[in-house]
Structure 1
Amino acid sequence: MKNLLKLSLIVFLTVFATSCSDDDNGDVNAGEVTIAAFVQNNPDYSSMQAALVRTGLVETLDGSTEYTVFAPNNVAFEAFLNANGFASLDDVPVDVLTNVLLNHVVPGNNDSASLSTGYINSLATFGTTTNNLSLYVDTSAGVRINNEASVTTPDVAVSNGVIHAVDAVIGIPTIVTQATANSGFSILVEALIAASDANIDYVALLSGTASSPFTVFAPDNAAFNNLLTTLGYSSLSDIPQPVLQLVLNYHVLAGVNVRAEDLTDGQTATTFQGEDITISLANGPQIIDATGMPANISVTNVQTSNGVIHAIDKVLLPQEVIDIVDPTIAGLAMMTADLSSLAEALTITGLDTVLDDRNAEFTVFAPVNSAFDLFLTANGFASLSDVPVDVLTQVILNHALTGTVLSSSLSTSYTSTLATYGTSANNLSLYINTESGVTLNGISTVTTADINAANGVVHIVDSVIALPTVVTFAVADPTFGTLVSALTRPDQPDFVSVLSTANGTSPAPFTVFAPTNTAFEDLLTELGISSLDDIDTATLTATLNTHVIAGANVREENLVDGTVSTLGDDIVINATNATITDQNGRISNIIVTNVQAANGVVHAIDKVLLPQ
């Protein structure tokens, strides 16, 4: 093949050299003449030469501006004329012939080494606009254009660019042309065929002009595979044809050619199916369907003669289909590209089965992929498979609540997740703050709320909610703001590090009796001082230590009457009355109990305990 290419190039140059000369220098090389001159002097391109003359494009390709031309030979033009019912080039309307020729011309000098699989724009345009038509270049085996023409001789250098000989005329592409050319849309093409019946032929529709132009949001193969997995189907043939038709119709806007630059945040559009989709630009261009789960637009402005294609990474589902297929929480994760890490984690831990149960209801705060990436990096893991399964299981469970809790029912308070403390059945706590949006444990924010599933609801969050320590809750809950200030005062021991010690490592676990801000305000009044800064270092250290029991996770139900040793002074607990008495006879009430962390438990109290 390599020798054949060399031979073909030699033939081209020889033909040109024997047919083209100048007054001063005699024969010239192909690289010394323009694209137009090369075509004119090569008899194998007489049809192309005639087409250039008829359309007035000779001057365009005879100047100094550089172009890349995919040049069809005479045989290719003859096949094109026969296929389209023309007896000769003179029968082709000039405007049509002009656009066909321009569809073989690409701006700039693009030799074969610079071509890669993907989309480039030709000089042909959509209708009367300046929007250039797209060419799909496939370099997986040689160079093929729009799956119609193959490069037979590449890199014929000319003075104003480069010529690649091709074996077919590259016709003006339609939506179907580009869907068929790109193997990444092969399942979409299968779906178009499978959904066609006597009432609607999707291939014919999207190849024609009726109802055109079209704007098509085209799911890639991975998106369709995710959908099949979610629905429990092995192939497209398992999806009822009416359902498949509804799904495909939901990806098409009829009568409009909406390019990426036409999209605006919050914009809605009515699909061919009849329901609306919403555009979101907050996190890059996305499409929001009836599930509320965004689909990312991965490729934009694949312009064809009868519309434009934007590739997306999720199959869009209208409410009409959701009502039929009714995906579970696990299903939503699997069919949503930006939740693929969550879906992987569910599979690794076996929790996909739990969240696929239609006989139970859950609320899941679902982290997006970027949140998992940050979580893995922060904890020194290369991938989710590197995280110990028991740890990953607890992390995922820490994002799930029992029952369906819509955003309207969330309030600033503590709730319990499905994660547990150690080997016990004690569920970890989750601090929800709704003062400004919805934040969880002070580290994760709900970005999209109330995505309904067959077995509950999903709220999308921007960070993984790591297993909390007692410090997590102290920092997250503004009620403990003064306590945090005391713990982090520069002259104090590193309380944060100590109280963040992992469970099972001494001195963890901890039982912390946490005074509220009001308790500290009362203390300042009691002592006749204006701020914490007026308390000397040793006294503050001893005071803070008196609020911590080390080596025990003492929950409310485990409290018993009697004296208990803390890291500071002894305290006396009255379990019946839920009070604590310090060595000075001062009584503090336990006002909030069992805020369970992974390394201990927090109980809020209304009076600061003082050592003797």
Structure 2
Amino acid sequence: MKKYLPIKAGLLALGLLAMNGCAKNKEVDPSITNIAVTNPDFQELEDAAIRGNVAVLLGNKNEDPASGGKFTVFAPTNAAFSRLGLNTAQDLGALQQSFLQSTLYYHVFSGTLAGSALTAGSTSGSALGVTRRIIRRADGTLYVNGSKILGTDVKAANGLIHPIDKVLLATGVDILNSALALQSSKVFVKPELTFLVEAVVYCNLQGALTGSPGSAPLTVFAPTDQAFKDLGVLLGVPLNQPSDIRKLPVATVTAVLLNHVVGGAQGGKFTPELPENTSVASAGGAPVVLGGFQSGVLTVKGASNTVPANMVIPDVQCTNGVVHVIDRVLLP
């Protein structure tokens, strides 16, 4: 599939722009490429396509015989990239190029996927090979995974564009290996989740995050490295490097880790699917309190936390569930 879907530098910037009406031209629809270069509101997507070296022309028809010559792109706006702290072309240097490229492919569908086909519970494939899920909330708003669909059927000569408010993220591997990818700098140039990985190994919980074929999906709240360092200050036990986790009793660390895992009916949930303003049971048995759904995210609080955690990178799709990276350790 990928050989058909590379997007030449800037192409993915896709006329998300078309939202401005450019693609509604009844006489001659511009190509996705033409739309991409006309609107500065999608500059960061263009910059991402350049850095990601996604090189197949979305300015031409799709060469996949089954596509009808069309592409469909879920296109993040500049504001969507800003939610991840990516505001300029230089900021994109914080991501490994291979991960950025895979992320761009996750936004592309080979063929026509009209807005009328985006029905609640439906799924669609992507050029990455990982499917995406359509979610409709009670208020009628439509989401692809955790990203709100801002509009549909922006027409280009060679396809359709659906603008979205968050960048879609998928790893293509299980939760444990997703964390290991972050820890080993395969996602960000700077390592992340290093304390979490150390804690999981210390408590021998690798199997719990790997899952087995057919096992129920999980929702995991994954604290950042800074979250663990802040916990050390709170406990009066300096946690300056991952190995310092081992200063704490293994039983204590195990209880804390299990407090970040939710299964059962709330396993594998994206942000718009999580039950807001209520509590859910963690794998450790203690409750985890979810705040209101605002701007596409929810706060999360453990029973012993005085301040809730914020989602800093929500809705990361893994093969056995969904990960939401948070800025505070949840205490049972």
Q: Larger RCO: Structure 1 or Structure 2 (Cα < 8 Å, ≥ 6 residues apart)?
A: 2
Give the TM-score taking structure 2 as reference length.
0.49
Select the structure that is richer in strand.
1
